Chains A and B, each alone.
Chain A
């Protein structure tokens, strides 16, 4: 299967550097989450990969080939860039049929992907009547049309209802499971955490991280234990003897930083402290991301144009 190779990629619009010397690979068989605030350069990078925008310097290739040199590119790469790309006056089916014809894909593929994306019942309705969620599904249908080995989706969960979000999560997992290369951009952390295996994080056009998601989280967020007791004095002295600091919270529970639940459980049990609740607080992608961007403060709260 094909991977996406980005090498020293830079794109300037006038004086603004939208993409700044990016180098990373997107590998097959896993879902790569493409994270960053709005304006970080995610969409620009995708357009550069598709040869729609010309890089100022550097290159983006697919299995070593520039996109523009691909014969019948829809058979290799499927992309959703903009859910508004379908003309409002065309039916979804006609929209997909025009795309299929250009790459000599059989017309039945249009009906197959409409079925796959849950649009079969509305396939003959004009796109103008579609909700944003339906347009997203149509954009994803267009991306899947050529049964491509590489799938790139820009903010695919935009406008999807909860059912749609679960659907896209399963779809992405399945595509990666089939050995395809899947790159999905998002600015929603919890959403990305639910499907990504690997992360590429951008800030102001620059690469901030390119790591497996678990590693990204564990390297940045320390484990924490949450505990509730009827005897705070006994708890704090037991923890102090074990070398841990406990912090009391208004809700009546305590937290212990840099600690694992296995150690704290044994410790308080040996000291005979009555325990009402003991749990480890899972580190989230959101915490890890905020930790990353707070060390790079120039990347936060800097709204830019997309």
Chain B
């Protein structure tokens, strides 16, 4: 059994579940809107980072990416859907790889477009304040943002497969992503820099002074994601469907 038909099937599943394309639309709309608002607001913060200000819509927007990953997997854990899927594709590792690919590709595509739109929208408001940004920094921010959103969606997908519940995965991730970032904020250093969301978000800043750079930060997030996906795949292969 080859990979392409399984991927095709998983892609059709995502496309034909109306809430999933809707979640990607929400990702685009929320991120762009919040970036535009951030770009238009007055700031007197001396540590103002124009790149992060432009891409700050990702902070609320990533919730949509996380929901997308969780929902795409959790739809398999209702009323025997997983049994039907695995009866059609008994190679569970291959099936889960196809599922993850079918989640990653649309999030990456929408994530890149979203980051670009957010940057453009925010720069319209920032005006001269953003003139210091080099084109290299802006490309890095947009590409990094797309990768970051993809990794977060896959992290949610892996956790959902492990916990066999989308609600379970979201109730772990959303407090993790939202609360930890807001409560601990910029003050704490050290270990919190290595949390999956904070590590990956370094790529959204023009300047960074922590232990992680933009790409090494994304690599740390990628390790978290890989761990979640492997744990999900392990659970799927080991347990009765």
Interface residues of A (CB under 8 A from B): 47, 50-54, 67-68, 70-74, 77, 79, 81-82, 84-87, 89-91, 94-95, 97-99, 101-104, 142
Query: For A77, A81, A84, A99, which residue has the most chain B Cβ atoms within 10 angstroms?
Result: A99
- Given known pairs A71-B1, A142-B84, the reply for A98 and B16 (CB within 8 Å) is yes
- Residues of chain B lying within 8 A (CB to CB) of residue A77: 87
Docked CA distance A99–B85 (Å): 8
- Residues of chain B lying within 8 A (CB to CB) of residue A104: 5
Interface of B (DSSP majority class): helix
Tally of chain B residues near chain A (CB < 8 A): 28
Smallest CB separation, A92 vs chain B (Å): 11
- Residues of chain A lying within 8 A (CB to CB) of residue B83: 47, 50, 52, 81-82, 85
Q: With A81-B83, A85-B84 given, can you name 14 additional A-B contacts, CB distance below 8 Å?
A: A47-B241, A50-B87, A50-B90, A51-B86, A52-B87, A53-B240, A68-B90, A68-B91, A84-B80, A85-B83, A89-B19, A101-B8, A102-B6, A102-B10
Query: For B8, B83, B87, which residue has the most chain A Cβ atoms within 10 angstroms?
Result: B87
Q: Mark B1-14, 1 if CB is under 8 A from A, else 0.
A: 10001101110110
The residue of chain A having its C-beta at the shortest distance from the C-beta of B1 within the complex is A71
Contact B80 A67 (CB under 8 A): no
Contact B241 A73 (CB under 8 A): no
Q: Is B191 an interface residue (CB 8 A)?
A: no
Query: For A47, A79, A98, which residue has the most chain B Cβ atoms within 10 angstroms?
Result: A98
Contact A87 B88 (CB under 8 A): no
Contact B90 A51 (CB under 8 A): yes
Instruction: Give 28 A-B contacts (CB < 8 Å), ordered by A residue.
Output: A47-B240, A51-B90, A52-B83, A52-B241, A53-B240, A67-B90, A70-B90, A73-B88, A81-B83, A81-B84, A82-B79, A82-B83, A86-B84, A87-B17, A87-B75, A89-B17, A89-B18, A89-B19, A90-B17, A91-B16, A94-B16, A99-B88, A101-B12, A102-B5, A102-B8, A102-B9, A102-B88, A104-B5
Docked CA distance A79–B85 (Å): 12
The residue of chain B having its C-beta at the shortest distance from the C-beta of A95 within the complex is B16
- Residues of chain B lying within 8 A (CB to CB) of residue A81: 80, 83-84, 87
- Residues of chain A lying within 8 A (CB to CB) of residue B105: none
The residue of chain B having its C-beta at the shortest distance from the C-beta of A66 within the complex is B90
Smallest CB separation, B139 vs chain A (Å): 36
Question: What 5 pairs across the A-B complex have the smallest Cβ distances?
Answer: A84-B79, A82-B80, A102-B9, A94-B16, A53-B240
The residue of chain A having its C-beta at the shortest distance from the C-beta of B11 within the complex is A101
- Given known pairs A52-B83, A85-B81, the reply for A101 and B9 (CB within 8 Å) is yes
The residue of chain A having its C-beta at the shortest distance from the C-beta of B2 within the complex is A104
The residue of chain B having its C-beta at the shortest distance from the C-beta of A103 within the complex is B88
- Residues of chain B lying within 8 A (CB to CB) of residue A98: 9-10, 12-13, 16
Contact A97 B12 (CB under 8 A): yes
- Residues of chain A lying within 8 A (CB to CB) of residue B13: 98
Smallest CB separation, A305 vs chain B (Å): 14
Contact A72 B75 (CB under 8 A): no
Contact B90 A90 (CB under 8 A): no
The residue of chain A having its C-beta at the shortest distance from the C-beta of B75 within the complex is A87
- Residues of chain B lying within 8 A (CB to CB) of residue A87: 17, 75, 78, 81
Docked CA distance A94–B18 (Å): 12
Contact A73 B87 (CB under 8 A): yes
- Given known pairs A53-B241, A98-B13, A101-B12, the reply for A85 and B86 (CB within 8 Å) is no
Docked CA distance A94–B85 (Å): 14
Smallest CB separation, B185 vs chain A (Å): 38
Docked CA distance A77–B90 (Å): 12
The residue of chain A having its C-beta at the shortest distance from the C-beta of B13 within the complex is A98
Smallest CB separation, B23 vs chain A (Å): 13
Smallest CB separation, B101 vs chain A (Å): 14
Interface residues of B in 19-59 (CB under 8 A from A): 19
Smallest CB separation, B103 vs chain A (Å): 15
Smallest CB separation, A98 vs chain B (Å): 4
The residue of chain B having its C-beta at the shortest distance from the C-beta of A54 within the complex is B240
Docked CA distance A89–B74 (Å): 14
Docked CA distance A13–B35 (Å): 52
Q: Is B89 an interface residue (CB 8 A)?
A: yes
Docked CA distance A87–B85 (Å): 12
Q: Mark B53-82, 1 if CB is under 8 A from A, else 0.
A: 000000000000000000000010011110
- Residues of chain A lying within 8 A (CB to CB) of residue B5: 101-104
Docked CA distance A47–B87 (Å): 9
Docked CA distance A86–B9 (Å): 14
Docked CA distance A84–B90 (Å): 20
- Residues of chain A lying within 8 A (CB to CB) of residue B89: 102
